[in-house]
Structure 1
Amino acid sequence: MQFGIFTVGDVTTDPTTGREPTEHERIKAMVTIAQKAEEVGLDVFATGEHHNRPFVPSSPTTMLGWIAARTERLILSTSTTLITTNDPVKIAEDYAMLQHLADGRVDLMMGRGNTGPVYPWFGQDIRQGIPLAIENYALLRRLWREDVVDWEGKFRTPLQGFTSTPRPLDGVPPFVWHGSIRSPEIAEQAAYYGDGFFANNIFWPKHHFRKLVNLYRERYAHYGHGTPEQAIVGLGGQVFMRRNSQDAVREFRPYFDNAPVYGHGPSLEEFTAETPLTVGSPQEVIEKTLTFRDTFGDYQRQLFLVDHAGLPLKTVLEQLDLLGEVVEELRKEFAKNRPAEVPDAPTHASLVAQRDAKALEEVAP
């Protein structure tokens, strides 16, 4: 089981001080947060992709490449790569390059994003979001798996005898997750290819995401990739901790109440009751996170959001110290009674080994 954090990279005023960090400060803070994640023993750091204020991570590969040079073990991922508005050729080459620089410590999560104006900024029509996601990803897979590609589709110019460079490290493309908060078509797409499905269940009640995850599991099995229980599932989460639960609630409430995404909506108590958000002690985070398995089954990756809504860097780093303790306990608990046939989250090393084992089977007498 992999544990990590993801950032949306928002630049938000701290409601308790009235101070808003500069873009430079926020970008540098994200790098510091990633390094701290490795220090406390987390497995994954993931960044979103946004091209609108108040967000700064418009170039995930630039940021992740910088972090790769400053870490040794951390898996570097995206929590959204915009498959709809990015050119598949550019995605193929950018992430293959990052894969080489990071010695394979790279995967990525395809998504459509949730900001409508981004589509025309990049010459696309939001009404074509699902067809774009399907066609662009089909091309991306071919670019990574075929040395020479001839291709013609609806949304970009044809390719004739094209080879994307560099080729994926060891001939094995980065593992892909497909992220969704609402679209069964994306769960179907992930299942069709045998890729991972990430349900970023931080905003809506769990019964909505249970339907998406169950659909993905059923279709994963339908396409012959394994049993429903062997499907590769990731989940989102949000936490804010202090040793004393009341201190956590008191400190986090002004940030919650003024957050750009959910501020001025449901109360903190209502939101924690309906979503994975946990505000309290480390033990409360452990207990609530363990309930995710009851809802979604055994899964492979858990990512937490810890650095948004104007929280100062000092506080985020304190959260990561506590999260390191929490994850140590979660690893033990999630390992208990985990069926042997449930796979671990794919890594570059495991994908290379899988490829080599398959090649041996094919040449065996």
Structure 2
Amino acid sequence: MTGTGGEPPDDIERLIQEVLAELGYSGDAAVVARKVKRLNLGLPAEDEFSVICAWLGRCRLVHKLDQAQAPLSSRDTFQVPDLLAAFDTGGPVLIEVKSKKSPTLSLRPDYLGRLQAYADLVGRPLLIAWKFHSIWTLFDARHLQLARTSFNISHERAMKENLLGLLAGDVAYVLRPGAGVHFDLAKEELIGVEGDAANFTETWKMRVSEVFFTDGDGARRSDLHGETQQLLATWNLETVEDHSPTSIRNSFIVGDGGVQFAHVALVHLLTWEGGRTGPPPWRQLLQAPKITRTIDDFGRALDRALGEKVVRYVFHQQPQTTPDFILSKDEAAAPGGAAATA
């Protein structure tokens, strides 16, 4: 468990304090270390979702809720959710965070009942944030349906009722095929040749002679905004290599098909900026003054890239059912006022 540069997280004292409280301040060092490690491993999903909300731009506040309850008997009735969040729309909400790779999310009736009892007690809506592989959804807990012994929701239904765009500002987008970045490499000196005349490999000393971008029309662009260029790092680009007697051109371009969510693009940006292969350091990012260095406002960057012919579409998803806490009083009272088109 390390922070940046091998240092422990800045809030290591809080982690250790929570562990010691659970142990009654009587555990030995080895037990404490194991508990701290397990606690830190259990928090990344909450941290990741909190960073996503903070980065998307419509979240005024998100913080963890202390789940140490008293009296002890209250645990039979109430379960404190993971997070409290306040967005620009709808007022504060309670959020329980789940990370499950099954296409169906299941919650035990007693567990969901305790969560809902707490939400009813404090008078705030209960939402579920679910990470399915790399895709996050946020939906009203009332969409969970009882199926035999548990309350379930399919990923398909969660996507249809997703509030992440409406509340936090998430969008989906498509880049234009043909947009990309190209590297021209000049052949300066032949180092060696392996193989025979029919099948051989040449090794060259090469120099980067030119780097340029193209838009979705295939036109060379020297005026693309830096954030537009960075959007290419959020996409799975196709690689094309063209050879000539004097040079090689390596092109990384947008192909046909595909769609990306802004919250998934965040992971790509952080990977690009950090030069890492593992998951981003979500806990450290929660305390960082800026989450990303290369794009300040992702929505504005997409809008700009639309005009620069690098982005093709931007989709603002609406849930099939808009919860009453988001609707205005007049909309909530009107027949069918809770319906919206996905």
Give the TM-score taking structure 2 as reference length.
0.35
Larger Rg: 2
- Compare the two structures and name the one with the higher helix fraction: 1
Give the TM-score taking structure 1 as reference length.
0.34
- Compare the two structures and name the one with the higher strand fraction: 2
Higher relative contact order (CA 8 A, sep 6+): 1
